[in-house]
Chain A
């Protein structure tokens, strides 16, 4: 494991840079339930960082802390070398952190295209008045955003359903549209909560390939939650393992696989 923060080049030729995100002694409670117990870890620029652990371990909670949906009682979140003040989710999004949800949160009434376009909202500058009075600027901006969105739609191979209302799509495609919307924001950090849950083998393979391609082609840093050890080993550079709100392992897939606590935690639960 690379403990220093000097950048290095991976075996497959990607550059991993300095610290993008640091979680410092995070504790999160819901009434009596301690969802996260004093956890610290970091995410480096350009890497694919996985968070794994059995159900209820606190993985989603951790992602929600990063994206501002949950506010930890203790600990600090550092972003790009500075402590981040307490932020609302929309402010976090505007900082360049996009996410998907474990239970899919799409705009069901809108088409795929419109859904992905909402991902561009943080990049749209034209004010209300100028949009009303000077359509030219607004239209130019709209066209630029449309072009970016169409590229992402091509990239994720969802051209065929561009105009389909999202509510009508099957589960696997919804997951892909949600990824498209997150990508449309051109995020610095992409948070994926169980991007492959509930998918069949073929869909899982597609999604794995997209995640790797996003990271490789756009250099996007990715933190993802996954239940399935096998998938995680293939995808990620480093892994955090959680169990009952505690961190029980942190390192490369190989290091984590050999960790006795991790093995125990995984033997203690049934999973698919």
Chain B
């Protein structure tokens, strides 16, 4: 194989893996949008908050340490213990469910039947509140997240793909980050789990019912409040997984909340209501932006990854506004 092609393949593979993360964040959006028609601007911040909470719990950080110390003149920062990753993940999930309940109880419950734009504004408020709250609770310094996920390149893949170069001395085999590989596997399990949940459990059936028709759902005895808490908890879980992946890769920092913005073009591509759309859309954006940067980037001075996704989404939007798999948008009257 010619060298350029091999590199292009490697870029594509890496793009796929980057795309997995976009898919995960987009998935969180889709869950909430499908069930309630709310575009949850806070999804990215939820990923950040989940990751912050996870690190905080693992390191035995005292929550609101700054606040406590300022008020009581104390100097507490750490409990002095370390919590194992698995337990910390479970505890973080409890926090995310609590967050879902709070959001529903204090915000969404009071906004039923409001215009979508009002709900959207509410989630913007929520995003900034949660960002500040996370900061207050866990501090704003960049944190390392080590949950025991493998780091570095996969030598196995590198060695076993070297032959593809057919003697080409410059080709050492494909370089794939092991963390990316794990992320891909976990994302796949997550998606399968979500699909199984929605297809084979009572709550999943109720969730699908609500996503389809609120009135009908009420008439068969489904509590909408319960479903809202459930979908926000699921979105919180997806946010936690995305937060772990991103945090393990680049550290837990506030830029994490910005990946939410990358989910936007993914959603435009995949459609706001389609789970397969979120997955495929994420992969297309991931691969697209890496390949574009690889092939066109050098000609235009690089940094195309900042805008490529949005332009691609715009082009897509013009030709297929409902996205790849999205249902045609017909206003109910």
A binding-site residues for B, Cβ under 8 Å = 67, 69, 88-90, 93-94, 98-99, 101, 105-110, 114, 117-119, 121-122, 124, 126, 128, 131-132, 138, 181-182, 185
CB contact under 8 A between A90 and B223, given known A114-B205, A121-B206? yes
* B219 & A101 in contact (Cβ 8 Å cutoff): yes
Provide the residues of chain A in CB contact with B217, threshold 8 Å: 107, 118
Residues of B with C-beta under 8 A to A126: 202
Write the B199-215 contact mask toward A (1 if CB under 8 angstroms, else 0).
01111011011001101
Tell me if B201 and A119 are in contact (CB < 8 A): no
4 tightest CB-CB pairs across the interface, nearest first? A93-B221, A105-B216, A107-B212, A89-B218
The answer for the CA separation of A185 and B219 in the assembled complex, in Å, is: 10
Closest to B202 in A: A124
Least CB separation from A92: chain B residue: B221
In the assembled complex, the CB of A27 is this many whole angstroms from the nearest CB of chain B, namely: 23
The contact sample of 19 A-B pairs, CB cut-off 8 A, is: A88-B218, A90-B221, A90-B222, A105-B213, A105-B216, A106-B216, A107-B209, A107-B212, A107-B213, A108-B212, A108-B213, A118-B209, A118-B217, A121-B205, A121-B220, A128-B202, A131-B201, A131-B202, A138-B200
Measured in the bound complex, the distance between the Cα atoms of B212 and A182 in whole Å is 17
B182 at the binding interface (Cβ < 8 Å): no
- Interface residues in B208-244 by Cβ distance below 8 A to A read 208-209, 212-213, 215-224
Determine how close the nearest CB of chain B comes to the CB of A146; give it in whole angstroms: 12
| B interface residue numbers (CB < 8 A to A) | 200-203, 205-206, 208-209, 212-213, 215-224
In the complex, what distance in Å separates the CA atom of A128 from the CA atom of B213? Answer: 22
* B202 & A93 in contact (Cβ 8 Å cutoff): no
Contacting pair A93 B218 (CB below 8 A): yes
Find out whether the CB atom of A94 lies under 8 angstroms from the CB atom of B221: yes
**Bound complex: CA of A117 vs CA of B208, how far in Å?**
12
Q: How distant is the Cα of A131 from the Cα of B206 in the complex, in angstroms? A: 14
Tell me the complex Cα distance, A121–B203, Å. Answer: 9
State how many angstroms separate the Cβ of B229 from the closest Cβ of chain A: 12
Bound Cα distance from A131 to B201, whole angstroms: 7
In the complex, the answer to whether B209 meets A105 with C-beta atoms within 8 Å is no
Known contacts being A107-B212, A110-B212, is A121 close to B202, with CB within 8 Å?
yes
- Would you call A109 and B219 a contact (CB within 8 A)? no
A122: chain B residues within 8 A (beta carbon)? 220-221
| Contact call B219/A128, Cβ cutoff below 8 A | no
Instruction: Report A-chain residues with C-beta under 8 Å of the C-beta of B206.
Output: 118, 121
Contact of B218 among A69, A110, A119, A128 (CB under 8 A): A69
Q: Are B218 and A106 in contact (CB under 8 A)?
A: no
Of B209, B213, B220, B224, the most chain A CB neighbours within 10 A belong to B220
A118 and B201 contact, CB distance less than 8 A: no
- A119 adjacent to B220 (CB under 8 Å): yes
Contacts of B208 in A (CB 8 A): 107, 109-110, 114
| A99 in contact with B202 given A107-B213, A110-B208 (CB within 8 Å) | no
Chain A residues lying within 8 Å of B222, measured Cβ to Cβ, are 90, 121
Cβ of A118: which chain B residues have Cβ within 8 Å of it? 205-206, 209, 216-217, 220
Are B219 and A93 closer than 8 Å at their CB atoms?
yes
Contacts A107-B209, A118-B205, A138-B202 known; 6 new A-B pairs at CB < 8 A: A88-B218, A89-B219, A93-B219, A107-B217, A118-B220, A131-B201
Contacts of A93 in B (CB 8 A): 218-221
Identify which of B219, B222, B224 gathers the most chain A CB atoms within 10 Å of its CB. B219
- Whether B221 contacts A105 by the Cβ 8 Å rule is no
Chain A hits for B209, CB < 8 A: 107, 110, 118, 121
With contacts A118-B209, A128-B201 known, is A107 near B216, CB below 8 A?
yes
Cα A110 to Cα B198 with chains together (Å): 12
| Distance (whole angstroms) from the CB of B264 to the closest CB of chain A | 25
Chain A residues with Cβ below 8 Å from B223 are 88, 90
B-chain residues with CB within 8 Å of residue A88 when the two chains form the complex: 218, 223
Determine the chain B residues whose CB is within 8 A of the CB of A105 once the complex forms: 213, 215-216, 219
Considering the chains assembled together, what is the distance between the CA atoms of A132 and B209 in angstroms? Answer: 20
Q: How far is the CB of A239 from chain B (nearest CB, A)?
A: 24
Specify the chain B residue showing the minimal Cβ separation from A96.
B221
Closest to B193 in A: A132
Are the CB atoms of A121 and B221 closer together than 8 Å? Answer: yes
Tell me, in angstroms, the Cα distance from A127 to B203 when the chains sit together. Answer: 9
B215-A138 in contact (CB<8A): no
Bound Cα distance from A121 to B209, whole angstroms: 11
Contact A90 B205 (CB under 8 A): no
Q: Which residue on A lies nearest to B215, using beta carbons? A: A105
B204 to chain A, nearest CB (A): 9
A133 to B222: give the CA distance in the assembly, Å: 23
Whole-angstrom CA separation of A25 from B325 in the bound complex: 51
The answer to whether B218 touches A90, judged by C-beta atoms less than 8 angstroms apart, is: yes
Contact of A117 with B216 in the complex, beta carbons under 8 Å? no
